[in-house]
């Protein structure tokens, strides 16, 4: 049977179909450690190699320090990233160029471009590749959004060590357009889903979108961010599935011990959507 989706073998395809996986990434390099919520290139590459063929084009509308673009290069795919924070966009550009030098001839002819801009205005950026003078059609979107304003929550255990360092960012930015600065949950959700929805015109038919996200806890309650994105974005794209990213190397903390249930949450949802254009 002809494989229309990717370049994997049957064995590799079957392995990826499992609904959960454990991925403990290697230590982060100093250049990207400044970013407070980076997801690993090693994991991103696995998704890119499943949902695209070599030479196709990947988009990350919230690129951070460029994990998706680096992974795409390693996988032999073209890639574009949009990043609001100019500091992260600059770091991403530097990291991508370093990766291109390492990979050498393997990536000649591949495009990997970081755009410093607001993903909310992605369609107003014009052609993504001005040198070619054409609008790029994307074959796949891989991204991870801000987990609401959780990075600004004082009690966040993961942020305590970062606050003691002058070199490490605790939150994304102070830009009012940064979704991580939106206080109201429903407003945040509406804006986030709107950004992903507006990408529709830039995607080819049957292109997949993978959104890596988790539910968040704030003020003693859980906000089902992953589930809400699945429900709301499912009105624009077809929600196809989920994979659970499990982390089993995190230290346990005695939250609520002796008085209340508070879990140690070491999993993320990798939500798979697909654009399915209705034929008239």
Q: What CA–CA distance (Å, rounded) separates 249 from 229?
A: 27
- DSSP secondary structure letter of residue 119: G
Model pLDDT, residue 11? 94
Tell me the CB-side half-sphere exposure of residue 119, using CA atoms within 13 A.
Answer: 29
pLDDT tens digits, 241-256: 999 999 988 899 998 8
Q: At what angle do helices 67-75 and 86-103 cross, to 10 degrees?
A: 20
Answer yes or no: are the C-beta atoms of 13 and 49 closer than 8 Å.
Answer: no
134-143, 171-180, 185-194, range with greatest mean pLDDT: 185-194
Tell me the CB-side half-sphere exposure of residue 159, using CA atoms within 13 A.
Answer: 16
Model pLDDT, residue 152? 57
- DSSP secondary structure letter of residue 133: T
Which residue, 165, 171, 183, is CA-closest to 84?
171
Confidence of residue 119 (pLDDT cuts 50, 70, 90): confident
Model pLDDT, residue 173? 55
Go through the domains of the chain in sequence order and give each one's CATH number: 10-274 (3.40.50.150)
More confident residue, 253 or 172: 253
Give the rounded percent of residues in the chain with a pLDDT score beyond 70. Answer: 80
pLDDT tens digits, 13-47: 999 999 999 998 777 565 544 544 567 899 999 99
Tokens of 70: 């680096």
Confidence of residue 130 (pLDDT cuts 50, 70, 90): very low
**235 phi and psi, to 5 degrees?**
-80, -20
pLDDT at 163 over 90: no
Task: Render the burial of 257-280: b for 16+ CB within 10 Å, e for the rest.
Answer: eeeeeeeeeeebbbbbbbbeeeee
pTM of the model: 0.86
Q: What CA–CA distance (Å, rounded) separates 195 from 198?
A: 5
More confident residue, 125 or 253: 253
Model pLDDT, residue 267? 94
Model pLDDT, residue 165? 47
Q: What CA–CA distance (Å, rounded) separates 125 from 127?
A: 7
pLDDT at 164 over 60: no
Confidence of residue 220 (pLDDT cuts 50, 70, 90): confident
Average pLDDT, the chain: 85
Which residue, 259, 51, 68, 46, is CA-closest to 140?
51
Answer yes or no: are the C-beta atoms of 125 and 85 closer than 8 Å.
Answer: no
Give the rounded percent of residues in the chain with a pLDDT score beyond 90. Answer: 62
């Amino acid at each position: 049977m002809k494989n229309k989706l990717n370049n994997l073998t049957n064995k590799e395809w079957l392995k990826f179909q499992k609904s959960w996986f454990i991925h403990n990434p290697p230590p982060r390099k100093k250049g990207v450690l400044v970013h407070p919520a980076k997801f690993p290139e090693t994991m991103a590459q696995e998704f890119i190699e499943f949902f695209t063929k070599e030479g196709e084009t990947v988009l990350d509308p919230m690129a951070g320090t460029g994990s998706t673009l680096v992974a795409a290069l390693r996988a032999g795919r073209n890639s574009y990233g949009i990043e609001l924070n100019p500091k992260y966009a600059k770091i991403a550009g530097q990291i991508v160029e370093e990766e291109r030098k390492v990979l050498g001839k393997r990536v000649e002819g591949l495009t990997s471009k970081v755009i410093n801009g607001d993903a909310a205005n992605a369609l107003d950026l014009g052609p993504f590749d001005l040198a070619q003078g054409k609008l790029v059609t994307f074959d796949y979107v891989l991204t991870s959004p801000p987990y609401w304003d959780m990075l600004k929550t004082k009690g966040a255990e993961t942020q305590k060590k970062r606050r003691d360092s002058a070199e490490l960012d605790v939150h994304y930015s102070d830009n009012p357009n940064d979704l991580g600065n939106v206080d109201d949950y429903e407003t945040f959700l509406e804006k986030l889903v709107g950004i992903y929805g507006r990408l529709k015109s830039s995607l080819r038919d049957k292109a997949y979108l993978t959104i890596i996200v988790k539910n968040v806890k704030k003020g003693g309650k859980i906000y089902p961010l992953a589930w809400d994105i699945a429900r709301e974005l499912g009105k624009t794209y077809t929600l196809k599935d989920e994979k659970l990213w499990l982390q089993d190397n995190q230290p346990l903390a005695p939250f609520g011990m002796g008085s209340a249930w508070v879990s140690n949450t070491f999993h993320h949802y990798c939500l798979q959507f697909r654009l399915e254009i209705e034929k008239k």
